[in-house]
Copies of this chain bind each other. A is one copy, B any other.
Amino acid sequence: MKIKKPTIIVDEERVRKNVERMAKKAQKSGLRFRPHFKTHQSADIGEIFKEFGISVIAASSIDMAAYFAKHDWKDITVAIPVNIRQIDEINELASKISLGLLVESIQSAKFLAENVLSSINVWVEIDTGDRRTGVDWKNTEKIESIATIIKESGNLSLSGILTHAGQSYEKESIEAVKKVHRDSISQMNAVKDYLSSKGFIDIEISIGDTPTCSIMDDFSGVDEIRPGNFVFNDLLQVSIGSCVEEDIAIAVACPVISKHPERNELIIYGGGAHLSRDSLERDGAQFFGLVALPTSMGWTSSMKNACVTKIVQEHGTIQAERDFIDRISPGDLLMILPIHSCLTANLHQTYQTLNGKILKSFHYEIE
């Protein structure tokens, strides 16, 4: 790899394995697999998904959906409560592709019913414990009101109910993640049964976080899964138990610019502007990434007792054992494994593959 500055490196074979594993799982369970493309945000990486027959996706903004529509994706759900200020862009996009939107307020449902000009699939977002967005699953009255507004409108059609059990990210055991999943599915089915008793038929259930989708095998009562992070994975997913380190498909190659053996530190050119400021804790101490060495095939396993302990805009501080420090000089490259791959990838306009190819992301196209 000829790398001169902080560069996000993607191991396409690991991506392929991660996509294949999830695609097969969905197929085996008879689920629609709608991967969330907010993690990689790249039409070039999207091509790998096509190898596995995937044709429907999720995106996290209207602009990102428009970017993927331009790259020939024809069925996209924007999996965030609709931003009604972008109604013009929504109408434009809906005239070109099969567009799905999320609604979780009566006001936004009414706004869409009045302002949408062509057919749009609507999902009612349900909160099954994440406490971020969505109507509380117990609030069936509000869910029914929103469903009714959608049903009675001309251009909106009710696809079903959708949830993101993001609380799974806060679990650190597989058993706890499984419980999140089971509770969430049971709540979603209770909502579906309620809607069915009120005459809403063919209500689908869509779920979508990487921890539950990676860990679970039983998806009964679910029609669609929308995980995103699994394409790259990261140290957070390793800590939850959704994957092992060898499943992490990206690393940020960073040049060493300074060495301070007297305090067991190396400084890399690579900071919050390249890695993001997400962190995890180990032995009570916060860290921002683990450290591997580049190889001809990608990168090694992470070094024991070495991690990124501090980051500012352009610099990262690595604490490591003295014998590791002694082997490294300014000008050497280190590979940083990310804590949260979505936000790390979001900082880059392009990826470099292990054989030096450049893959473009959404941010490569000017706003």
Chain A residues with a Cβ under 8 A of chain B? 3-5, 38, 60-63, 80-86, 89, 104-105, 107-108, 111, 131-133, 166, 255, 257-259, 263, 267, 269, 272-273, 276-278, 310, 312-315, 317, 329-331, 333, 342-343, 346-350, 363-364, 366-367
16 contacts between A and B (CB under 8 A): A3-B85, A4-B85, A5-B85, A38-B314, A61-B269, A61-B314, A81-B257, A83-B257, A132-B267, A133-B258, A166-B312, A313-B342, A349-B363, A350-B367, A363-B363, A364-B367
- Contact between chains at A330 and B105 (CB < 8 Å): yes
As for how many copies of this chain the complex holds, the number is 2
Q: Check if B315 sits within 8 Å of A132, measured CB to CB.
A: yes
Tell me, in angstroms, the Cα distance from A348 to B312 when the chains sit together: 18
Is B132 a contact partner of A317 (Cβ separation < 8 A)? Answer: yes
Q: Does the CB pair A131–B263 fall under 8 Å?
A: yes
| A107 CA to B259 CA, complexed, in Å | 10
Within 8 Å CB of A133, what residues of B?
257-258, 267, 315
Chain B positions within 8 Å of A63 at CB level: 5
Besides A80-B315, A81-B330, A272-B346, 8 new A-B residue pairs in contact (Cβ under 8 A), listed by A number: A81-B258, A107-B331, A108-B257, A133-B257, A273-B346, A313-B343, A350-B367, A366-B366
Among A63, A330, A346, A366: residue with most chain B CB under 10 A: A330
Q: How distant is the Cα of A256 from the Cα of B108 in the complex, in angstroms? A: 11
Cα distance A258–B349 in the bound complex, in angstroms: 30
Q: Give chain B residues whose Cβ lies under 8 Å from the Cβ of A277.
A: 276-278, 343
A258 near B105 with CB under 8 A, answer yes
In the bound assembly, the distance between CA atoms of A310 and B131 in angstroms comes to: 11
**Are A366 and B364 closer than 8 Å at their CB atoms?**
yes
Shortest Cβ distance from residue A342 to the other chain B in the assembled complex, whole angstroms = 5
Given contacts A86-B4, A132-B317, A313-B38, contact A259 B105 (CB under 8 A): yes
User: Which single member of B80, B346, B347, B348 contacts A269 (CB below 8 Å)?
Assistant: B80
Contact B367 A349 (CB under 8 A): yes
Among all A-B residue pairs, the 7 with the closest Cβ atoms? A81-B257, A277-B277, A133-B258, A4-B85, A84-B331, A60-B314, A81-B258
Tell whether, in the assembled complex, residue B329 and residue A107 are in contact, meaning their CB atoms are under 8 Å apart: yes
Q: How far is the CA of A81 from the CA of B346 in the complex (A)?
A: 26
A255–B277 Cα distance when bound, in Å, is 24
- A133–chain B nearest beta-carbon distance, Å: 4
**CB <8 Å contact, A272 and B263:** no
Chain B residues lying within 8 Å of A38, measured Cβ to Cβ, are 313-314
A80-B269 Cα distance, complex, nearest whole Å: 8
Identity of the chain B residue whose Cβ is nearest the Cβ of A348 in the assembled complex: B367
- Complex CA distance for A366 and B86, rounded to whole angstroms: 26
- Whether A86 pairs with B5 at a CB distance below 8 angstroms is yes
Q: A363 to nearest B CB, angstroms?
A: 8
Contacts of A89 in B (CB 8 A): 4
- A132–chain B nearest beta-carbon distance, Å: 6
Neighbouring B residues of A347 by C-beta, 8 Å: 347
Determine whether the beta carbon of A111 is less than 8 Å from that of B331: yes
Whether A84 lies near B342 (C-beta < 8 A) is no
